[in-house]
Amino acid sequence: MYDYLTREQRIEVLLRRLQVEAERSKFTGEQRRRNRALLRGFRSALWASQSKLSVAELGALLREELGLPAVLGQIQPVPVGTVTEDE
């Protein structure tokens, strides 16, 4: 159907269609917000996988998007299992 598109472009089309379907569904407002966040995350991962940015540059952009303070000169590891979505 979309043979002329790259794999990444076909994934973006899929994500857009899922966004439309999720927005038109009978989900509650909270479920819609969760779905939007999930799809944003998938789009960000797709963008990051195509990007030529360094890990540090990507980290800075993601921190900015999340409204988190910049971390200069080092990556601050977060122990696995210590932070949940609810926190």
Q: Give the per-residue pLDDT at 74.
A: 57
Q: Residue 1: is its pLDDT beyond 80? A: no
Question: How far is 39 from 41, CA to CA, in rounded Å?
Answer: 5
pTM: predicted TM-score of the whole model, two decimal places: 0.55
Q: Are 15 and 42 in contact (CB under 8 A)?
A: yes
Question: How far is 41 from 45, CA to CA, in rounded Å?
Answer: 6
Q: What is the pLDDT of residues 57-78, one digit of tens each?
A: 878 877 887 788 877 655 555 6
Q: Residue 49: is its pLDDT beyond 50? A: yes
Question: How far is 61 from 55, CA to CA, in rounded Å?
Answer: 10
Q: Which residues of 9-20 are buried (b: 16+ CB within 10 A; e: fewer)?
A: eebbeebeeeee
Q: Residue 87: is its pLDDT beyond 50? A: no
